[in-house]
Amino acid sequence: MSARPTPLRVLSRSDLADVPITPDAVVRAVEEAYLALAAGDSDNPRKLSVAHPDGWSVAYAMLGRDGRRRVVAMKTSYKFDPSHDRSTKRYYTTITLYDDATGMPIAMMDCARVGALRTPAVSALLVRETVRAGARSVLLIGTGTQGRNALPHLLAANPQLNRLMLYGTHPEGMKAVYDHLAAHHPQLELQTVADPREAAASADVVLATAGPGTKVALESADLAPGSTVVLVGYGLAPSTLADADRVVATSAEQMALTGTDMAGPDGTLRRVDTELPQILNRRSPGRTRDDERIFVYNSGLVLTDIAVAHALAERAIAEGRGTEVALWD
């Protein structure tokens, strides 16, 4: 008698779109994933990538094991973007989770919302660990998916930040940033700025989340003393890395793979001083002086995708969402 086929739960983008999860819960899940990695309980090998020689497309494959959640996962992403135009870009990303305690599949999921939540949560932790004492002001550059989710997650880990500034060029995206902030912090005001360089001169924190088509590229001379600048997408020039007093990354290895556009005139990347997992488990300080300017590179680690995907999958499956597919029948 043959064994009963193992079904695979498939969770689509629409299945996951409104699964309830708070910024606090996302930040907590991401921090737990980093601490497990720092303690040696998890594995996060370097991602693999292939790209079209003319820059038309890029694909990544990532494998990870979360030793505390007992989950193994594989994530893939593919972006086709020959003209750097939002209307024609194609981007597909999925993650498949397996229960490493039972050997059973948990779910195959669209990963769009996972990335939309994971990345700003990582930025929030990076800022929390590197921001100078007494910091209050933030400049957000960009109003795409990352820009829209940035502030609620940032404030979940940094509630003292209360002077919020936004630079964007897309009215729909700017409205979405305002709406997302109001949903979580209706008491806070968000100021739209016309000149990002002028705003950066007084910002304690700069979050650069713009897309590749942005015309903004802040130079190191534009930044305030003691500021923390976080590169998520685009909006910072290579001088902000080259001239920084301290460089922090989620992963130096990942920065070397995906941060080549920030290389200096000689084609080399500035050395990373410390990584977020080592900061979180107190092996290394995030900041050493109040007056140092810190450059932060936020690149994705699949372990943080696993943490957020697992949290979303548990909630979605508990609500009976998704479709079971007899993939191995």
Q: How does pLDDT run across 120-161, given as a tens digit for each residue?
A: 999 999 999 999 999 999 999 999 989 999 999 999 999 999
Taking the alpha carbons at both ends of the chain, their separation in whole angstroms is 14
Q: pLDDT for 273-325, tens place per residue?
A: 999 999 999 999 999 999 999 999 998 789 999 999 999 999 999 999 999 99
Confidence of residue 5 (pLDDT cuts 50, 70, 90): low
- 197/227 Cα distance (integer angstroms): 14
pLDDT in tens, 34-89: 999 999 999 998 888 898 998 889 999 999 999 999 999 999 999 998 777 767 88
Neighbouring residues of 107: CB distance < 8 A, sequence distance ≥ 6:
8, 9, 10, 11, 96, 97, 309, 313, 316, 317, 322
Q: Could you tell me the pTM of the whole model?
A: 0.91
The pLDDT value given to residue 1? 40
**pLDDT on residue 54:** 86
Distance CA 239, CA 25 (A): 35
- Alpha-carbon distance of 95 to 76, in angstroms, equals 7
Asked whether 154 and 125 are in contact (CB, 8 A), the reply is no
Give 165-188 pLDDT, tens digit per residue: 999 999 999 999 999 999 999 999
Cα–Cα distance list, 110 to 180, 223, 232, 291, 305 (Å): 22, 37, 21, 42, 11
Place of tokens 């920084």: 244
Taking only the tens place, the pLDDT of each residue in 193-237 is 999 999 999 999 999 999 888 999 999 999 999 999 999 999 999
Q: Which among 221, 249, 253, 261 is positioned nearest to 44, based on CA atoms?
A: 253
Give kind and range of the element (H or E) at residue 308. helix 302-318
